[in-house]
């Protein structure tokens, strides 16, 4: 109480002025038409401004969540796109393109892919055997022997899966071999790293008679078990026929530089294991 009196003794004039102004403002805005109107419109303007500012701020704060949502949405769309591609069967009637169903009436969506977005949290690219670590694991639905792609190209193959993380062979690993082809030619070969220059991959087993040129696109072939068909893998840098060979030696520049990969998609072919078992069983019988 004493301190309030002291405050009033020191700043009584200012306090009285403020009180009288507040009372006057109240009387003005409640009793006088023009002031009332101006106050109302100003109030709505300011409240709109504050609301807009608040919304912007909230949008900014939710950017991280939005980013995750977008990545999930992207993965879903990728999955649809890949599976759509897988179900495209070149059957046409004379009137319109039909969606293909087999004789059992089932839609042809094999192989079927599941796409999960992930982030590269560990990456080596200067050694002989290079590995990637992804921030997704078994809990997120990642299986070993899944392909890893980015928007720009191929990235690697998942080898080991823990609860929350996955270890993958980079394309810069000599054991990573991807069934690939040069776009526009119906021949497929093996895309791999020869262990020398990390800027280039090698595409082998492409017949020498094909007029492959620098700049041609290298993409995943339709025989790949792990990667979706048609996904871009690289650009032809040089192509030549080694002496005495029936195949070309094609040097490919990967469209996704292994050193700068960050956001990726793990692509799992639901039938990969079944296909592998089938192949293995056939090989054992022979």
Partner 1 sequence: MKGNWFFPNLWRFLSLLAAQGLVLSGISYNTDGYVSLLVYPLFTLLLPILMPIPLLILAGFFMGLFVDFFTGTLGLHASAGAFSAYARVIILERFAPQGGYTGKEPIASPAYFGWRWFLSVSGIFFAVHLLWYFSMAYFTPVYFLSKILPQATLSWLSTMPVVVVLMRLFYPKN
278 in contact with partner 1 (CB under 8 A)? no
- The minimum distance between CB 6 and partner 1, in angstroms, equals 14
Nearest-angstrom CA–CA distance, 106 and 87 = 11
Question: Among 14-22, 47-55, 68-76, 165-173, which window interacts with partner 1 (CB under 8 A)?
Answer: 14-22
Angular region, 65: left φ>0, alpha ψ -120 to 50, beta rest: alpha
Three-state DSSP at 257 gives coil
Cβ distance 255 to 234 under 8 Å? Answer: yes
For residue 233, count CB atoms less than 10 angstroms from its CB and return exposed for 0-12, middle for 13-18, buried for 19 or more. buried
Ranges assigned E (strand) in the chain: 113-123, 131-134, 147-149, 154-161, 166-170, 178-182, 188-192, 201-207, 217-220, 232-240, 247-254, 263-269
Return the residue of 5, 17, 61, 121 that touches partner 1, per CB under 8 A: 17
Question: Among 18-26, 111-119, 132-140, 180-188, which window interacts with partner 1 (CB under 8 A)?
Answer: 18-26
Partner residues linked to 268 by β-bridges: 114
44 in contact with partner 1 (CB under 8 A)? no
| Residues in 83-142 that interact with partner 1 by CB under 8 A | none
13 in contact with partner 1 (CB under 8 A)? yes
Question: Among 13-21, 199-207, 247-255, 261-269, which window interacts with partner 1 (CB under 8 A)?
Answer: 13-21
47 or 55: CB nearest partner 1: 47
Return the residue of 20, 98, 260, 279 that touches partner 1, per CB under 8 A: 20
5 in contact with partner 1 (CB under 8 A)? no
| Residues in 22-41 that interact with partner 1 by CB under 8 A | 23-29, 31-32, 34-35, 38-39
Residue with tokens 């004379």: 94
39 or 190: CB nearest partner 1: 39
Partner residues linked to 207 by β-bridges: 247
21 in contact with partner 1 (CB under 8 A)? yes
Return the residue of 5, 7, 15, 121 that touches partner 1, per CB under 8 A: 15
Cβ distance 237 to 111 under 8 Å? Answer: no
Nearest-angstrom CA–CA distance, 30 and 43 = 14
- The minimum distance between CB 53 and partner 1, in angstroms, equals 21
Positions that interact with partner 1 (CB under 8 A): 8, 12-17, 20-21, 23-29, 31-32, 34-35, 38-39, 42
């Amino acid at each position: 109480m004493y301190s309030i009196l002291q405050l009033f003794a020191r700043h009584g004039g200012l306090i009285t002025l403020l009180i009288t102004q507040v009372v006057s403002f109240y009387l003005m805005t409640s009793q006088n038409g023009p002031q009332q109107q101006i106050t109302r419109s100003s109030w709505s303007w300011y409240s709109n401004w504050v609301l807009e500012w608040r919304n912007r701020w909230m949008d900014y704060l939710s950017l991280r969540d939005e980013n995750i949502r977008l990545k999930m949405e992207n993965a879903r769309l990728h999955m649809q796109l890949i599976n759509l591609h897988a179900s495209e069967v070149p059957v046409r009637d004379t009137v319109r393109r039909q969606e293909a169903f087999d004789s059992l009436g089932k839609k042809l969506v094999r192989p079927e892919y599941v796409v999960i977005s992930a982030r590269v949290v560990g990456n080596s690219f200067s050694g002989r055997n290079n590995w990637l670590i992804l921030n997704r694991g078994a809990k997120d639905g990642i299986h070993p022997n899944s392909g890893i792609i980015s928007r720009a190209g191929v990235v690697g193959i998942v080898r080991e899966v823990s609860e929350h993380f996955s270890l993958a062979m980079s394309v810069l690993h000599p054991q990573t071999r991807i069934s690939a082809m040069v776009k526009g030619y119906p021949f497929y070969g093996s895309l791999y790293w020869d262990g020398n220059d990390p800027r280039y991959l090698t595409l082998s087993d492409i017949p020498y008679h094909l007029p492959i040129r620098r700049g041609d696109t290298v993409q995943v072939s339709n025989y790949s078990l792990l990667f979706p068909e048609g996904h871009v893998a690289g650009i032809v840098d040089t192509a030549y026929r080694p002496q005495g060979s029936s195949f070309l030696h094609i040097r490919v520049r990967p469209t996704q530089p292994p050193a700068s990969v960050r956001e990726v998609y793990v692509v799992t072919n639901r039938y990969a294991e079944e296909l592998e078992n089938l192949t293995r069983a056939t090989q054992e019988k022979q």
